[in-house]
Structure 1
């Protein structure tokens, strides 16, 4: 096990153990935290995670990631009503947040408004209300994120009562007592960690109270969440478990890093393909709690194009006589390598090169440095993919989406602690050297034999990564039916 991976999970278990008695409404609060979020800006701790000597300062010594899942399985089991309750008369609840990412068509075709309810966090002003709201509202509080579900009734956790100030303060005082016991602890002594954790305690307690009140007042048969690492989704999932309500966690992106997808918490994790099944099983997750569903947003890859290529080229100012190559970047990460890649390709191939930046949609610095490089602007990915001829990406979900749209994909790789090697089965199409990768991209456009090889690797990859091309929304609908009838 890599040093950083071992130290991260060992520190995580230490945190769960040291704060295990910090409870509200029966829930041990450290289990509801996203640990990465608590230490994200702690440069000192991140530096120590790479130090083999740091291991000696940790109580727990994780040698197998199964230990993490085992700890959470025990915690969840203590909060799970068995057997799960099947209630076909109640509503399916969709926890709508920025990473659920179901297309409008999925909401319309797969979810009956009379049998579905959207839940959103709502305003976080922590004002106590005397009683739950007596009605549901279909007025979106966030129209940018909710316009595709305006036909489905919507409720907000912020409509429900929060905890008393006294209850919150009691728990926070106990946390302060724990800090005082560990005044020399490498993590707990950090003032920023303490402030972040104390603030998170307040949020978690209020959301537990609101979630419990919501589920007591609204009859729910099944809950679908985008992930179980945001504390709201995790709270929904665990409070639901106490009431015997089954939960489904969608996979919101490729499993590129092992830090982002364990522990598994929901009743069923809906995954993309066999890569995830095998990966989760190695980490101690039962195969019965996994199901290959794909993701509804990927259904768009198989739909007819909405924008004609001539219109697309005109919108971006592209030369219609050239083929289009899209490179997918993440801000300025690895920008030196991307410069080399662009220079290598542009010297040997006459292409329109487009840059898609995550999370920005404005002009990337590369479009300023190279006059022949264009921004994809705010055009939706699924309107871009039909109009390009190849993709070069960092290890991103876009790489999978492009292959589902039948586009050749090359990966500019960078190994890092915890990387799962998701794209490694593409073999030569994955390179750390941008110049070598650039030459391979040029060969794709020049050499028919290499073109055939690239195509075969794509087909082989998808058989394992996304083996079922049938409508994911319908597969999700069948899973919900199985859990509720």
Structure 2
């Protein structure tokens, strides 16, 4: 089901780009600019889960290696050869960059780097800030014309499974003004700033995508960092930037299997993790005091996430909390905290004295990870971070909304990843009682990190890559 849906997704995407290829602003095809998967509602998704869906299309994506080459066909005509501009600045889009200020100021210098953001401030993340909004211009006339043109194209496909879908059409039409305005804004930014290179945290958002596409039209090198573990193909493809900077060999192979040339992939890790290796974290003494920890018990950090099966999660907590040798710190996902969706965890806290729930966003996750005895988490970056802190990590696969998905990133975890809370707790108990299990986990961890993450100074690697692309020797 997963493979069928994804191949149908890419087939539909290629159809969309082909039919709307003449809908352009300043030479940029608008169909390339939308975050395509957000145009697909549940009704259309269900149709795309069936093998016969692709029969509706003349051009079909039948294997993963065809994905990136298709987009290269449309992106290459926009690109100019990369040029060296040694006096230019490094432009960094703040959205999704996920680099802490301490690391940012270590990598970049205020004299040669600029943060682009939607904030009206002089400085951000320790660097000069440019408010993107001041580069906007009135593009309503252009947008209105393109909306009319797009509406006419859609009217020719009333019976099309996607183009005739009200939600699909509505989302794209409503995005046109934002897409057009952003393209104009980005051209104005580059007109004002001589640019050495562009760094973005993803190309899912419209500003980041526009920054790298317009940069390619001007011969400016761009780097897209990997914004999280590969848990959704549509969020990481297509590759728009000059270079994809990835965590490890796993991701490099993943992109190559989807048709991206290996000379556009660089294994540099991510600067967001550098503080694991360079920062001094909260001392055990203060940790015990701040979080009311019993130093004679094993402390488990349990990280949550949206869309969990709460029945299974509750069972997991019950099994652990009733064991007197454990105490639990539950850290809700930032999305849950932001939406106030953590009452379930507070009810668990009221039931068991051995549970603490962290809802304060100012609490440093790395202070927690450095001091706990073990980590339980869903399929997330927290598992990777736990391993980088050399902690035992146990993964619970309780996600409810994973239709069309089969994640293999953590498959080498073997028995240390489970969808049954009873089995996972047995694995947990065995780890803390059997030295052989401890050794087995360490062997698995070492093999996992060998292909997933080996970098200790990603900031230095990123700096080197920037200057290498710009044909300039780094002074760092």
Q: What's the TM-score once normalised by structure 2's chain length?
A: 0.91
- Flag as ranges the 4+ runs of structure 1 deviating above 6 A: none
Q: Are 1:417 and 2:404 an aligned pair? A: yes
2:435 and 2:292 map into 1 onto residues whose CA distance is 29
The one-character-per-residue Cα deviations of 1:404-452 (angstroms, maximum 9, x if unpaired) are 1111111223675343400112222122222111110111111111111
Report the equivalent of 1:450.
437
Name the Cα RMSD after superposition.
Answer: 1.9
TM-score (normalizing by structure 1): 0.90
Give the alignment of 1:54-65 within 5 angstroms: 54-65=53-64
Alignment of 1:287-298 (within 5 A): 287-298=262-273
In structure 1, the partner of 2:414 is 427
Tell me the secondary structure at the aligned position of residue 422 of structure 1.
Answer: coil
Alpha-carbon contact 2:276-2:389 (below 8 Å) kept: yes
Task: Classify the secondary structure of the residue corresponding to 1:392.
Answer: strand
Q: Is the 8 A contact 1:357 1:364 kept in 2?
A: no
1:436 aligns with 2:420: no
State the shift of 1:298 in Å. 0.4
**Mapped partners of 1:310, 1:317: distance in 2:** 11
SS in 2 for 1:44: helix
2:194 to 219, 229, 234: 219
Residue 397 of structure 1 corresponds to which residue in structure 2? 381
1:137-216 matches, within 5 Å, as 138-139=121-122, 146=124, 148-149=125-126, 152-216=127-191
Instruction: State how 1:233-272 maps to structure 2 within 5 Å.
Output: 233-272=208-247
Q: What is the distance in 1 between the residues matched to 2:212 and 2:67? A: 18
Instruction: Report deviation, 1:468.
Output: 2.5
Partner Cα distance (1:47, 1:189) in 2: 15
Other-structure match for 2:112 = 115
Q: Does 1:314 align with 2:315?
A: no
Q: Which moved more, 1:430-439 or 1:86-95?
A: 430-439
Question: Could you list the runs of 5+ residues in structure 1 that have no partner in the other structure?
Answer: 123-136, 141-145
- CA contact under 8 A between 1:249 and 1:269: conserved in structure 2? yes
Aligned to 1:383: 367
Task: Indicate how the Cα distance of structure 1 residues 343 and 58 shifts in structure 2: closer, same or farther if over 3 A, else same.
Answer: farther
Match of 1:69 in 2: 68
Which 10-residue stretch deviates more, 413-422 or 349-358?
413-422
Q: Cα offset for 1:191? A: 3.0
CA deviation profile, 1:302-333 (whole Å, cap 9, x unmatched):
13443223322333333332111112221352
Whole-Å Cα distance in 1 between the matches of residues 218 and 118 of structure 2?
A: 20
Give the drift of 1:65.
2.1
2:1 is equivalent to residue 5 of structure 1: no
Specify every segment of 5 or more residues in structure 2 that has no aligned partner in the other structure, as ranges.
Answer: none
Choose the corresponding residue for 1:373, options 344, 355, 371. 355
